[in-house]
């Protein structure tokens, strides 16, 4: 993946040619901002650092491909629900916390604000400590 950058509206935007990956906003004291993406239908979660807000009114079935060792190391994704539904996030192949099929599905409890964050490292997805709010891994 080739990384590009450009200045636009007081922001230094980093992108891969089509998708905004992150930006630095001068107005926010130079803080690094990750994009927020709404997921309003069943489907795949993109493999770049971002906040995924699940906006589907009924239970969404989201999939997360296995990260590639080294290439995706450090990719951090937060998934949070803006609707009261029992969404699922399935980490295909590797599961969460190197658990394979024993922990490959995260099922949300059904409340607004349920969610969790995870990071890729060496081909696995690891849930970040203290970030799991009402999501059951099984």
Residue extents of the structural domains in the chain: 1-33, 34-137
Tens of pLDDT, residue by residue, the chain (138 residues)? 576 677 776 677 777 777 777 766 655 555 566 789 999 999 999 999 999 999 999 999 999 999 999 999 999 999 999 999 999 999 998 999 999 999 999 999 999 999 999 999 999 999 999 999 999 999
Tokens 């990384």, residue? 3
Q: What local confidence, expressed as pLDDT, does residue 54 receive?
A: 99
Tokens representing 107 are 């099922």
3-state secondary structure at position 71:
coil
Instruction: Give Cβ neighbours of residue 92 (< 8 Å, ≥ 6 apart).
Output: 63, 64, 65, 66, 104
> What pLDDT, on the 0 to 100 scale, is given for residue 134?
97
Please tell me the pTM assigned to this model. Answer: 0.80
């Amino acid at each position: 993946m080739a990384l590009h950058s450009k200045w636009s509206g007081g922001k230094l935007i980093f992108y891969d040619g089509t998708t905004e990956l992150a930006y630095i906003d001068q107005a926010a004291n130079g803080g690094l901002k990750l994009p927020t993406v709404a997921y309003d239908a069943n489907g795949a979660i993109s493999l770049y650092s971002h906040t995924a807000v699940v906006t589907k009114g009924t239970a969404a079935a989201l999939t997360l491909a296995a990260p590639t060792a080294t290439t995706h190391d450090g990719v951090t994704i937060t998934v949070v629900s803006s609707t009261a539904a029992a969404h699922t996030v399935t980490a295909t192949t590797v599961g969460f916390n190197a658990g394979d099929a024993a922990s490959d599905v995260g099922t949300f409890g059904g409340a607004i604000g349920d969610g969790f964050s995870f990071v890729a490292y060496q081909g696995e997805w690891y849930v970040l400590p203290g970030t799991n709010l009402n999501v059951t891994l099984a």
